[in-house]
Structure 1
Amino acid sequence: MGKIAFLFSGQGSQYPGMAKDLYENVKEVHDFFGVAEAIRPGTIIQMLKGTDEELKKTENTQPCLFLADIAGALALESAGIYPDAVAGFSLGEVVGLAVSGALTKSEAFKLVCKRAGFMQKASEEVKGSMIAVIGMDKEELISQCRKSKVYPVNFNCPGQIVVSGEEGNMDKFKEKLKKSEVRFIELSVGGSFHTPYMKEAAESLKEELKASGNYKLTATDKPLYANKTASPYPKETDEMIDILSDQIQSSVRWEDTLINMAESGVDTFIECGPGRTLSGFVKRTVKGAKIYNISDLSSLEKITSELGTNEELQAKEQTYA
C-alpha cells in the first residue's frame, strides 16, 4: 500500500447538521468543537441547526465547514489513521494548515474566522457567483471567459472547471452556455471567489498574518499541497504567508494537485467533510486510487475496517518486506 492523503472540502459542500454524529460520539471532536465555540460563540448551533441560507453566507460557511472538515481528521486520528500528505480545497487549505502542523488547530480556526470576514466584505462590495462548467474544452472555455469578463478559477478535474465573476457578467455568460447547450452547475457560495474581486480580502489576510501575534506559522510536519502552486508549501514563513493569502484571489489547481500527490506515492485519498465532491474529482483524475469519505461514524468504521490503523499497515509491510 502507498501513502494516504487527507483532503478537506471547500465552500458549497455545507449542509445543516454536518458532522453531528462525530461531534456527539468522538471525544476528540467534541473537545475541539468546545474550543472553537469559545473563540466564536454560536458556531455549533449554527452548524447543526442553521438554515441553508444562513450557512451559505461566507462569514458563517467557513467557520462551520472548517469544523466539519477537521472533525473527519480528528476522528481518523483517534482511530489510529494518519495522513502522509494533506490538501484542502480553498478554505479546506486552512484546515490543512492545522492537520499538517503549520498552525495549531485553534490558531487555524481563528484564522478561518478572519478569512471569512474579509471575504464576506469583498463579496458585499461586488455581488458575484460561481458555476461548475461540465465537459467544455479547456482552451475554448478560457477564451470564452475572457470575452465575457469572467474568470476560470477552479481546475477541478478533467472535464470540470469552475467559473467565477460579477453577477451581471455571470448571468450573460450562463445564457451563452445555455445557447451552446453546455452543461453547468450553480455552486452554493456567496461570492466571486478566486478572482481579482478578492484582492482586498487577500491583502487584508496578508496583513493579519504578518501583523498579528496570534499565528505562528511553521514548516509543516507533512506535505501540505497549496491550491495556488499544486505543490507542497515552502518552509519559509514569508513565502507561506504569500501563498496562503494570495490563494483567495488565485485559481485552485486541484487537478494538478491530485496528479502531483499521486506521483509522490499517494494511492489512498480520504475526503474529510460533508459530501463527496472531492472524491469525485479524485476518481476522474487518478486512475486506480482508493477513495474514501468520512463524515459520520459509519464511514469512519468502514475506513478503519478496510484500511486498519497506521500501525497495522506498517506491521503488514514489515511482514512482506
Structure 2
Amino acid sequence: MSFALLFSGQGTQHPAMLPWLANDEFVRDMRARLGIDDWRAALADPVWAERNDNAQTLLTGLALAAWNQLAPMIQAPDAIAGYSVGELAAFSAAGAIAPATAAMLATQRAKAMDQCAALVPGGLLAVSGLSEPMLAQLLAETGLAIAIRNGPQSVVLGGPESALDDAERTALTAGAQCTRLRVGVASHTPWMHEAAESFAQTLAGVPFHAPRVLLFSNANDRVRDAASARTALAAQIATTVRWEECMENIMARQVRCVLELGPGQALARMWNQRYPGVPARSCDDFRSAAAIAAWLNSHVDG
C-alpha cells in the first residue's frame, strides 16, 4: 500500500502558493512562456491571475516544478489523478507524456478553449445541497450542463453567463449553496466541443506512452495505454469531470494517504470529507519540500 497523488485545477491560485518552490528549469520555462519575471507578483493582479491562458500555463508549469523537486525525496505514488487542467501534470507524473510536452500543451489547451469562449462567453457555478430531482429540474430550466461531479450533492454547472445567473438565483431560493468560480470559460461542457476537437488534433502529433503508474482520467476512468491517454486528455475538455468516480477508484487501491499538489486545499478537503479515515494534505500547507516528504513517508512507512 502507498499513497495517491492529486494535481489541483485552476481557480484557487494565489501569490503565496507553494512557498517552498525553488526557481528551477520548469519555473523558468513557465515564466518565459508567460513573459513575466515574477509569477507571484503577477498573481497579485486578479485580472491577470484569472485569465484562462495565464492560469493554465502557470499552474501546469508550477505543478511540473513541484513534482520535479519533491519526487526524489519520496517513493513513487500508487495512483495519480488530476482535476481539470491538473490532468496535464498528472499525465506527465505518471509517464504518459514528457514534462516539456505537458507545459506546451497547457498553452495550446487554453488557446483552444478561449477561442470557443469568445463565441459564447461562459463560466462555472459550484452548487451544493440540491437533490438529484431538483438538480435535474434546474438543468432542464436553464439549459446548463454538469461540468464537474464532486459528490452526490456537489456539482459544478457550466454554460452561458446569463443561464448561470438564472441558475444561481433559483438554486439559492431552493436553499442550495452557490459559488461562482474564477474561470471565464464553460469548461467540461458541450460549449467546449470545438475546443476538444481542436485539442485532439494537437494531441495527434504528440508522443504518448503507457502510464508507468496507475492513472485515472476525468473522462475515461483508468488510462491503460498511449491511445487511451490521448483520447482522455481531449475528451475531458467538453465532457463532465467525474471527480467522484476518480476518488472512488483511488480509494479502491487502499492507499494510506493522499497528497494534493497545487494551490489551495480543495481536493484534500473533498477527500477528507469523503474518506476521513485516510488523511489527505495539500502541498500548499507546508513550508518546505522536506516537510512534505516527512509527512508523506510517516504515513506510507507507518
Normalised by the size of structure 2, how large is the TM-score? 0.92
Q: Is 2:203 the partner of 1:209?
A: yes
> Given that residues 125 and 179 in structure 2 are in contact (C-alpha distance below 8 angstroms), is that contact kept between their aligned partners in structure 1?
yes
Distance 1:102 1:81 in 2: 18
Indicate the residue corresponding to 1:172 in structure 2: 166
* Residues matched between the structures, number: 301
Indicate the residue corresponding to 1:191 in structure 2: 185
- Describe how 1:126-205 pairs up with structure 2 within 5 A: 126-205=120-199
Indicate the residue corresponding to 2:8 in structure 1: 9
Indicate the residue corresponding to 1:259 in structure 2: 248
AA aligned to 1:294 is C
Segments of 5+ residues of structure 2 without an aligned counterpart are none
- Describe how 1:113-124 pairs up with structure 2 within 5 A: 113-124=107-118
> Given that residues 42 and 49 in structure 2 are in contact (C-alpha distance below 8 angstroms), is that contact kept between their aligned partners in structure 1?
no
Q: Is 2:259 the partner of 1:270?
A: yes
> Given that residues 72 and 295 in structure 1 are in contact (C-alpha distance below 8 angstroms), is that contact kept between their aligned partners in structure 2?
no
Distance 1:262 1:44 in 2: 40
Partner of residue 225 from structure 1, selected from 196, 216, 238: 216
- Describe how 1:239-254 pairs up with structure 2 within 5 A: 239-254=228-243
Indicate the residue corresponding to 1:32 in structure 2: 26
Residue range with higher mean Cα deviation, 55-64 or 8-17: 8-17
- Evaluate the alpha carbon distance shift between residue 245 and residue 43 of structure 1 in structure 2; reply closer, same or farther with a 3 A threshold: farther
AA aligned to 2:219 is K
> Given that residues 25 and 65 in structure 2 are in contact (C-alpha distance below 8 angstroms), is that contact kept between their aligned partners in structure 1?
no
AA aligned to 1:234 is R
AA aligned to 1:233 is V
> Given that residues 34 and 57 in structure 2 are in contact (C-alpha distance below 8 angstroms), is that contact kept between their aligned partners in structure 1?
no
> Given that residues 30 and 103 in structure 2 are in contact (C-alpha distance below 8 angstroms), is that contact kept between their aligned partners in structure 1?
yes
Segments of 5+ residues of structure 1 without an aligned counterpart are 25-29, 317-321
Q: Is 2:75 the partner of 1:75?
A: no
Poorly superposed stretches of 4+, deviation over 6 Å: none
Distance 2:37 2:210 in 1: 30
- Describe how 1:298-317 pairs up with structure 2 within 5 A: 298=287, 300-308=289-297, 313=301
- Evaluate the alpha carbon distance shift between residue 245 and residue 307 of structure 1 in structure 2; reply closer, same or farther with a 3 A threshold: closer
Indicate the residue corresponding to 1:290 in structure 2: 279
Per-residue deviation at 1:290?
A: 1.6
Q: Is 2:224 the partner of 1:234?
A: yes
AA aligned to 2:38 is I
> Given that residues 265 and 282 in structure 2 are in contact (C-alpha distance below 8 angstroms), is that contact kept between their aligned partners in structure 1?
yes
SS of the residue aligned with 1:156?
A: strand
AA aligned to 2:259 is I
Residue range with higher mean Cα deviation, 292-301 or 156-165: 292-301
Per-residue deviation at 1:197?
A: 0.7
AA aligned to 1:9 is S
Name the one with the larger helix percent. 1
Distance 2:276 2:180 in 1: 27
- Describe how 1:47-126 pairs up with structure 2 within 5 A: 48-50=41-43, 51-126=45-120
Q: Percent identity?
A: 27
